[in-house]
Each structure stands twice: as structure tokens, then as C-alpha cells.
Amino acid sequence: MGSERVSAAEAGLSGDILATEVVVPVLTDGVVSLRALRPEDGPTLVFYCRDPESVRWTTIPRDYTAADAEAFISDMVPTGWASGKVLAFAVASASTDELLGTIDLQCSKPGSAEVGINVGHPHRGSGVGARAVDLLVDYAFNQQNLAYLHWLALVPNWGSRKLAWKIGFRLEGTLRGYADDRGTPTDAWMFTLSAQDPRGPQEPWQGPTPASG
């Protein structure tokens, strides 16, 4: 496992802006790598984030722009790493380093985190998403020593649900009106995976067959 260094600007208690160097690990299975996002990823990130399905099922801003990508890569991601609250990676090809999507751990509670992922639409259904989540789960349990991972999917995002199922996340139920879908309370499926749970599907798939990563 390697690492990459990125800079973050953090506001100190005095209000001064302090330069903070953050080390982002490089995780790979030989096909897919998780690495730090870089400025040169910006144009591809904009392309992926303007996909209607990405906008429909995530919190990505509508009409995503180059300025949005720059702010995400140069400010939001390094600050998330510096604070330990959001650990975001680029999902990239291990052979070409092409950006394939993004994935993160949202660490709002001790001992657990929520997984977020957006695979670029040209790569959905290729297995990229499952490989990226497997790498992130290993990192969460073995490097971050987390006990639980959570996965939240808006209903009826079957692609997200199938990807969670494929990794071994267990459906805990439907939370009515739990999610905030751009200001509208929306039903959500909640999944969990513990560090002791077996990996891989734990029951037959019972939904449609969308591209799931």
C-alpha cells in the first residue's frame, strides 16, 4: 500500500488559514486503484457528475461545473481527510490511471462510517464498483479499525442496492422519509456490514437486474 500527499487549507481556532499536508493511501487490487483526487481529474469528474443518473441518486450539485470540481478536489476532499470526517478517494484504473469514479467513507460516528460511491456512467456494470467497494471495506476494517459500515440508498435505486448486496451488506429495512432528496423527505434503504460479517451475497437477489458497478 502506497500513499500520496495532498494539501488542505484548514481554519484554525484563531481564524488563520493553516496549510495542512494530508497523506492519502493508495489501495489497489491490480485492476482498480483508490488514490488521491488530482487537479487533472477535474474534466472527467465534471463529465461523470453531469450524468442524469448521478444527479438523480446522489447529492451532486445540478449542472456540475469545472468550478465545482476544482472546489471538490482542492478544498472539500483535503479538508475531509484533515478532519477525518470524509475520506474520499478517486477510483482509477490500475493500468492507465484513468479516473473511473469516486468513493468515500463518511465518518460521523465513532467506530462506523457510511459508504458513498459514484461510478462514472461508462464504467457501470463492468465490476469497477464492486472492486472499489471491496478495497474500501478492507481499508475501513483493517486500517481504520471500524466495526460497522452503513450504506444508504434512495428508493428505488436498484443499482446501488444490488452493489451493496453483491459486497455482502445486509438490508436492515426501509426508512420512510429518512433521506433528504434535495429538500424533499424520501424513503431510503439502509444496509449494514460488520467487520465480522462474511463477504459476498448472503441471499438470492430479489430485485431487477440494473447495472450495479
> Cβ–Cβ contacts within 10 Å for residue 170, how many?
15
* Residue 93 domain-assigned (yes or no): yes
Residues 6 or more apart whose CB falls under 8 angstroms from that of 97 comprise: 33
Domain around 29: 2-9+20-194
Closest of 100, 88, 65, 68 to residue 8, by C-alpha: 88
Task: Return the CATH number at 137.
Answer: 3.40.630.30
User: In one letter, which amino acid is 98?
Assistant: E
Determine the pLDDT at residue 211: 67
* Residue 81 domain-assigned (yes or no): yes
Give the CA-trace dihedral at 157, 163, 165, 170, to 10 degrees.
Answer: -70
Tell the burial category of 100 from Cβ atoms under 10 Å away from its Cβ (0-12, 13-18, 19+).
Answer: buried
* Residue 106 domain-assigned (yes or no): yes
Q: 187-202 pLDDT, tens per residue?
A: 999 999 999 999 999 9
- Residue 40 CA to residue 156 CA, distance in Å, equals 34
* Residue 200 domain-assigned (yes or no): no
- Cell 465480522: give the residue: 196
Kindly list the strands in the beta sheet with 148-154, ordered across the sheet, starting from the edge strand earlier in the chain.
2-11, 17-28, 32-35, 86-93, 99-109, 112-119, 148-154, 184-194, 170-181
- Cell 430479489: give the residue: 206
* Residue 90 domain-assigned (yes or no): yes
Q: 69-86 pLDDT, tens per residue?
A: 999 999 999 999 999 999
pTM of the model: 0.91
* Residue 149 domain-assigned (yes or no): yes
Query: Residue 36 — very low, low, confident or very high, per pLDDT cuts 50/70/90?
Result: very high
Domain count within the chain: 1
* Residue 206 domain-assigned (yes or no): no
Q: 158-178 pLDDT, tens per residue?
A: 999 999 999 999 999 999 999
- Residue 111 CA to residue 122 CA, distance in Å, equals 34
* Residue 145 domain-assigned (yes or no): yes
